[in-house]
Every structure is written in C-alpha cells, then in structure tokens.
C-alpha cells in the first residue's frame, strides 16, 4: 500500500516484544505499544498483536479481554493473538473472541512480515470491494424499441 502508513497496535507486557516487533516492522507500518487493556487508545488501527498472558500468569489469559474489547471497539480490525502457550482450547477461545490469527512466540521477522503483508492485501481487497459497491451508477434514459 504505497504512500499510506498503516497502524499496528501491540498489547504485550514484555518490552522486549515491543522492541522486537518495532525493529521488524516494514517501513509503511507505525506501531503503538501498550501493556494493559487500560492503556489501549481509542485510535483507529489496521491491525493488532495481542499477547494472551499480560501479567506473566500463564493460568490467566488476560489477553482475551483485550481481544473482545478491540473487536467490539473496531469490528474490522485484524487481531493477531500471540502466546507461548499453544493450548488448543486457548487458540479456539481467541478466534471466538474476535482474533483472526494465532501465532506462537517467539515471533520471527519473517513471520511478522508475512502476517502484515497478508493484512495489507486483506485491507486492499476490502477497500476495492467497498469502492466497487459505491460506484454503482444507475442508468436513466429512454430509447425507441423496435418491434418485429
């Protein structure tokens, strides 16, 4: 998406994750990093990476509340949940809560690039679909018909 800056929200309690993602971001992405649900701004974002365990307690997936909040706040947001806990039930809960993907930590630069590229394509497809549905031009006129 040339010339357009895309906005990524990262919700994770680990500063190292924030730094790693920021370093791996393609040039056309801007990142806002926060650590808790309370810190989540009401701004518009194109995508969000949300960690499932925001307090370090692996028995409490606090990130699910963040996913639900973001999905409710901005219905078309691409939400990617991230966790070192690869529990199948947790993955299913994330998808039910509004996440579009679930990634295992640690994230690689290549993974971040691939996911953000897919999100960019999804955004382009949605905007093209929206433009085509809005560009309907009704034809009004009259003509003489020939009866055989």
CATH code assigned to 6-123: 3.40.50.2300
Provide the β-strand partners of residue 48. 9, 79
For 83, residues 6+ apart whose C-beta sits below 8 A from its C-beta are 51, 52, 53, 61, 63, 90, 102, 104, 105
Look at residue 126 in the predicted model and tell me its pLDDT. Answer: 76
Cis peptide before 65 (omega within 30 of 0): no
Phi, psi of 142 (to 5 degrees): -145, 155
Please, what is the average pLDDT of the chain?
Answer: 87
86 token code pair = 């690869």
What's the rounded mean pLDDT across residues 34-54? 95
Look at residue 148 in the predicted model and tell me its pLDDT. Answer: 56
What's the rounded mean pLDDT across residues 91-95? 94
pLDDT digits (tens, 9 = 90+) for 48-70: 999 999 987 778 899 999 999 99
Ordered by start, the domain boundaries in the chain are: 6-123
Beta-carbon-side half-sphere exposure of residue 70 (alpha carbons within 13 Å): 36
Q: Judge if pTM exceeds 0.85.
A: no
State yes or no: pLDDT of 46 exceeds 60.
yes
pLDDT digits (tens, 9 = 90+) for 109-148: 999 999 999 999 988 887 775 555 554 555 566 667 666 5
66 token code pair = 């963040």
Show contacts of 35-42: CB within 8 Å, 24+ apart: 35/11, 36/11, 37/11, 37/62, 37/65, 37/66, 37/69, 39/11, 40/9, 40/11, 40/66, 40/69, 40/70, 41/9, 42/73
Among 20-34, 70-84, 132-146, the minimum mean pLDDT is found in 132-146
Distance CA 77, CA 74 (A): 6
């Amino acid at each position: 998406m040339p010339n357009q800056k895309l906005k990524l929200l990262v919700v994770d309690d680990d500063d190292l994750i924030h730094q790693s993602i920021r370093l791996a971001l393609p040039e056309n992405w801007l990142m806002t990093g926060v650590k808790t649900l309370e810190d989540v701004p009401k701004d518009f974002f194109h995508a969000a990476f949300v960690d499932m365990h925001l307090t370090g307690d692996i028995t409490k997936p606090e990130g699910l509340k963040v996913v639900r909040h973001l999905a409710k706040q901005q219905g078309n947001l691409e939400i990617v949940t991230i966790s070192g806990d690869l529990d199948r039930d947790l993955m299913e809960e994330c998808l039910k809560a509004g996440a579009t993907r679930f990634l295992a930590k640690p994230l690689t630069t290549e993974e971040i690039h691939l996911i953000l590229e897919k999100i960019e394509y999804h955004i382009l497809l949605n905007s093209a679909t929206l433009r085509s549905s809005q560009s309907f031009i009704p034809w009004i006129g009259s003509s003489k018909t020939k009866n055989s």
